[in-house]
C-alpha cells in the first residue's frame, strides 16, 4: 500500500503543482488521470524520490519515502515520461548494463534476468538490434523491461501510451496488465481509455488537487440517469453551449454528438445515454472550468 498524506509542491517560480494530495493506493493497477499541467509528473517524480515535496508524507509499506529514499529506490521500477536513452547499443546489452546499476552483480543471475525480461516484453527476437532503431512501442516495452529489473514492488509509469499507435498501445497495456496484482502499479495518463481498460481504482488529478477517487465502475454508476446526448450540426454548438452544461463533444458520421450533464431530461431532442468514464472525467473537468 502506498499512502500519500497532504503532499504539496511549490516550484521555485511559485507554481503550486501539487496542493494537499492525499491518496491510498492499494496493490494492482491504479490510474492517475489528468490533463496536461495537472501535476501528474510532479507527483510521479516525487513518489519516485527524484524530488522532495514542499510538504507532506509518503509511505510505502514500512518505508518512509521522504526520509529513506534509498530504501524506496531498491524496490522501485520507474518509467519516466521522457525516458530518452536510445543509443546505438543493443537492447540486451543495455538491459544488462542497467541490471549492473540496479545491483545484480552476479553475471549468471544478470543473464537470466535479462533473458526473461526480454521474453516477457516480447523483444527477444530483436534483442541484438540497436535501441536507436526501435519503434515507439518497442521503446516503451524496453522501458518496462528496465523498470522490472530486480522485481520491484512499486512500479510507476508516467504517460506511457502517448504517441503509440492503437496496436502498439494495446500491446503495451496488455503487458502492463500482466505485470501482476501483487505489486502497486501507478499509471499516469491523460487518456481515459488507458484507465478504463486497465485500472480497478483511479483518481482524477487537476490543478494539483485530487478531484475524484474511486473505482471506475462506481464513479460511472454515480452518473447514471444524468448523462444526455444529442446529435447536432456544427453550427448549433455555440447555441447549445450557452444553454446546456456540455461535458463533451465529438464527431460521428459528420454530425456533432454532444453529451450534457443534467439531473432531469433537458427535452429539446436529448436522449438518455449510458455514461462512461469519459463522461465522469469530462464532467469533473467541466465543473472545474465553471468554478474558475
Q: Which stretch binds ligand ADP (CB under 6 A): 8-16, 52-60, 193-201, 277-285?
A: 8-16
Give me the 25-44 binding string for ligand ADP, x by CB under 6 A, dash otherwise.
Answer: ---------x-xxxxxxx--
User: Which cell is 164 given?
Assistant: 503509440
Q: In angstroms, give the least distance from the CB of 110 to ligand ADP.
A: 33
Q: In angstroms, give the least distance from the CB of 285 to ligand ADP.
A: 13
Q: In angstroms, give the least distance from the CB of 121 to ligand ADP.
A: 24
Is 190:18 a contact under the CB 8 Å cutoff?
Answer: no
Q: In angstroms, give the least distance from the CB of 282 to ligand ADP.
A: 16
Indicate which single residue of 1, 6, 11, 112 sits in contact with ligand ADP (rule: CB under 6 A): 11
Indicate which single residue of 1, 6, 15, 234 sits in contact with ligand ADP (rule: CB under 6 A): 15
Give me the 41-80 binding string for ligand ADP, x by CB under 6 A, dash otherwise.
Answer: xx--------------------------------------
Q: Which stretch binds ligand ADP (CB under 6 A): 11-19, 63-71, 268-276, 278-286?
A: 11-19
| Cα-based angle 149, 152, 153 (whole degrees, multiple of 5) | 165
Binding of residue 17 to ligand ADP (CB under 6 A): yes
Q: In angstroms, give the least distance from the CB of 9 to ligand ADP.
A: 8
Q: In angstroms, give the least distance from the CB of 207 to ligand ADP.
A: 9
The residues of the shown chain that bind ligand ADP, judged by CB under 6 A, are 11, 13, 15, 17, 34, 36-42
Amino acid at each position: 500500500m502506498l499512502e500519500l498524506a497532504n503532499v504539496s509542491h511549490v516550484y521555485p517560480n511559485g507554481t503550486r503543482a501539487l496542493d494537499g494530495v492525499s491518496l491510498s493506493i492499494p496493490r494492482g493497477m491504479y490510474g492517475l488521470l489528468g490533463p496536461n499541467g495537472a501535476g501528474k509528473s510532479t507527483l510521479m517524480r516525487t513518489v519516485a524520490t527524484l524530488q522532495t515535496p514542499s510538504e507532506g508524507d509518503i509511505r510505502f509499506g514500512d518505508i518512509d519515502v521522504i526520509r529513506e529514499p534509498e530504501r524506496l529506490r531498491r524496490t522501485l521500477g520507474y518509467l519516466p515520461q521522457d525516458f530518452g536513452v536510445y543509443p546505438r547499443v543493443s537492447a540486451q546489452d543495455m538491459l544488462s548494463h542497467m541490471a549492473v546499476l540496479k545491483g545484480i552483480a552476479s553475471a549468471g543471475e544478470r543473464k537470466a534476468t535479462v533473458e526473461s525480461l526480454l521474453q516477457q516484453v516480447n523483444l527477444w527476437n530483436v534483442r541484438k538490434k540497436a535501441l536507436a532503431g526501435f519503434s515507439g512501442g518497442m521503446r516503451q516495452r524496453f522501458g518496462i523491461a528496465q523498470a522490472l529489473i530486480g522485481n520491484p514492488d512499486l512500479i510507476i509509469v508516467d504517460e506511457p501510451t502517448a504517441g503509440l499507435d492503437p496496436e502498439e498501445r494495446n500491446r503495451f497495456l496488455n503487458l502492463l496488465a500482466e505485470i501482476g496484482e501483487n505489486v502497486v502499479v501507478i499509471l499516469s495518463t491523460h487518456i481515459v481509455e488507458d484507465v478504463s481498460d486497465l485500472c480497478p481504482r483511479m483518481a482524477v488529478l487537476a490543478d494539483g488537487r485530487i478531484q475524484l477517487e474511486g473505482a471506475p465502475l462506481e464513479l460511472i454508476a454515480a452518473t447514471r440517469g444524468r448523462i444526455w446526448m444529442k446529435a447536432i450540426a456544427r453550427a448549433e454548438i455555440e447555441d447549445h453551449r450557452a444553454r446546456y452544461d456540455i461535458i463533451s463533444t465529438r464527431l460521428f458520421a459528420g454530425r456533432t454528438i454532444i453529451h450534457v450533464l443534467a439531473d432531469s431530461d433537458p427535452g429539446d431532442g436529448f436522449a438518455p445515454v449510458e455514461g462512461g468514464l469519459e463522461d465522469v472525467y469530462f464532467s469533473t473537468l467541466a465543473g472545474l472550468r465553471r468554478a474558475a
